[in-house]
Structure 1
Amino acid sequence: MRIFCFQLPVSIALGLMASGMLQAQEPVVEEASLAQSVRTEWQLRLDAADDETREMLAELRRIEAETRRLDARSDALAPRLERRGERLDRREAALDTLPETRERLPEIERALITRLQAWVTRDLPFLKEERLARAAGFEAGSVDPDATAAERLDRLLAAWRRELDYGRELDAWRGTLGDGDTRRQVDFLRLGRVGLYYLTPDGREGSVWRAEADRWEALDEAGRAEVRHGLRIVRDQRAPELLTLPISRPLERADSDDTEASL
């Protein structure tokens, strides 16, 4: 038997070897490409998860901030709600006693009118006629007869509030002093309910009202100068400053009639 041996050219052999190697590498390339695709897909998923996580964290922070704001508002509203609850309790209690209060209302009104008149009568003699007329009007029934009980009481309480306001006011006005032939125009100065003074227009005469003696007491030159300063201050003609004047009505714990009030 004969054996035939063929020898291929070297170039052909190398070509066949290269072709075989390329065919062998194709699965590797495909696997690498697939792995890259998988990695890309996972990276996209991770990025998406990161974005979602960041959004969730931002939402969580917003909810926490809103919760703190609501807690602070709740803490601020708690005292107000408590006071409102107390007012409602008082109103309910008042409603329970409303029939009795209605029965006593005329008695309460009469007592308020009597005390108002007594207060004006014993008080410093400023705007006396106007204030007495206001108090007498309630007693005389000058209030609208068609007014309800609540309206009458409201007007009466308004008169009391006006009297209370006098105690917090500084006032100056020109008015008439004396009666009959002794009437004359003077400038009055009032310091709440502590002091009442007058000064003649020429500044030569001035007095302080002494409630205990129920009369006017003349002021010396220094006192008249203080009254003059007070008139200018009240009329905005002079900058505010301390005034030292004898008082009209003794204060509690006052040691003598010479007690002075500084304003």
Structure 2
Amino acid sequence: MERFSIRGLLALVTWLLLMPGAQAQEALIDESIEAQLRQAEQQADIDAVDDQTRRMVQELRRLESDTRRIAAYNAELEPVVDRQAVTLSQRQAALESAQATRETLPALTRAMVERLDDWIAADMPFLQEQRRARVASLESMLSDPALDDAERLDRTLSAWRAELDYGREMDAWRGMLDGEHEVDFLRLGRVGLYFLATDGREGGVWRVAEQAWQPLDDAARRELQKGLNMARDRRAPELLTLPVSQPLRDQRQQEGRS
């Protein structure tokens, strides 16, 4: 109910007393209705404020819940983000290193080709034409604009692998000795290189230290014939007693320097 001041109430009562009975009763009813309408309007305003307050409180609670979920999610993501940061840092360092490698790659590849050429020149004289042709192909490749640095390096490494494989193989072939005599050659990795005349009366072992052929005696030539048959799968493998072209230790030192 709307509260009236005492002065207003007295004025209202006085006014009603001065009015005729029916008119006074009608006026009192109108005033009561007006007061109730004003009270209803005020209550509606209060209810509207209460509804808005409730909505604000609900929104505040929702925001608080979202904030807690986001905080928990961020806490879970933090170690992942840290790992990603480390990964990105490592990749950046790798890219910088790769850039430096790309800049030095042409010079590195050329140096590897030159060292391969020097190694073949100092190595035992077997398959010289084939091996020299491989180096010549690499030298031509270095100036080929159609190839990129990575492909040049790949081909150079492939040539080096072919050379290193010679140290693990047993091989036999027929060829010319000093361009004059046809003989059978036997190579035992890079430990021994031998020749045997087709009639079996002459044979030799290549001496790396002297860079020359040293003759073999009868017993060594018989062992050499066994080795040729073994390399050609005509004889079961067995231990050979032959002088070596260079000590195994020297061979390993040479390969280690290559």
**TM-score normalised to structure 1 length:** 0.58
> 2:228 is matched with which residue?
231
- CA contact under 8 A between 1:166 and 1:192: conserved in structure 2? yes
Q: Which residue of 2 aligns with 1:66?
A: none
Structure 2 unmatched runs, 5+: 1-88, 252-258
d(CA) in 1 for partners of 2:93, 2:234: 53
User: What does residue range 171-210 of structure 1 map to in structure 2 within 5 Å?
Assistant: 171-179=171-179, 183-210=180-207
Corresponding residue number in structure 1 for 2:135: 135
Question: 2:209 matched to 1:212?
Answer: yes
- Give the distance between the partners of 1:104 and 1:251, measured in 2 at CA: 34
Task: Report the counterpart of residue 65 of structure 2 in structure 1.
Answer: none
- Deviations along 1:192-230, one digit per CA (max 9) or x if unpaired, are 000000001111110000011110000000000010000
> For 1:82-129, what per-residue CA distance to the aligned partner results, in whole angstroms no more than 9, with x for missing partners?
xxxxxxx99875433011111101110111011100110110000012
2:169 aligned residue: 169
The reply on whether 1:111 has 2:102 as its aligned counterpart is: no
Secondary structure of the residue aligned to 2:242 is strand
Matches within 5 A, 1:7-26: none
* Pairing of 1:1-263 with structure 2 (within 5 A): 94-141=94-141, 144-179=144-179, 183-252=180-249
Corresponding residue SS for 1:246? coil
1:149 to partner: Cα distance: 1.4
C-alpha contact (below 8 Å) 1:230/1:243 kept by paired residues: yes
Structure 1 Cα separation of the partners of residues 130 and 244 of structure 2: 24
What secondary structure is seen at the aligned counterpart in 1 of 2:182? strand
Unaligned runs of 5+ in 1: 1-88, 255-263
Bigger relative contact order, structure 1 or 2 (CA pairs below 8 A, ≥6 apart)? 2
What does the per-residue CA deviation read over 1:56-101, in whole Å, with 9 as the maximum and x for residues that have no partner?
xxxxxxxxxxxxxxxxxxxxxxxxxxxxxxxxx9987543301111
Letter of the 2:161 partner, please give it.
Answer: R
Q: 1:158 to 1:246 in 2, by over 3 A?
A: same
| TM-score (norm. length: structure 2) | 0.59
What is the aligned-residue identity percentage? 56
SS in structure 1 of the partner of residue 137 of structure 2: helix
Corresponding residue pairs, total: 163
2: CA distance between counterparts of 1:178 and 1:199? 13
Secondary structure, aligned partner of 1:236: coil
State the alpha-carbon separation in 1 of the partners of residues 249 and 229 from structure 2.
Answer: 29
Secondary structure of 1:226 counterpart:
helix
- Structure 1 outlier segments of 4+, above 4 Å: 89-93
Contact 2:202 2:221 in 1 (8 A): yes
Q: Is the 8 A contact 1:143 1:152 kept in 2?
A: no
Whose Rg is larger?
A: 2
Q: Which whole-Å CA distance do the structure 2 matches of 1:90 and 1:223 have between them?
A: 60
Task: Note the alpha carbon deviations across 1:152-194, whole angstroms, 9 max, x for none.
Answer: 1111110000001000000000011113xxx111000000000
Q: For 1:131, what is the secondary structure of its paired residue? A: helix
Over aligned residues, Cα RMSD in angstroms?
2.2
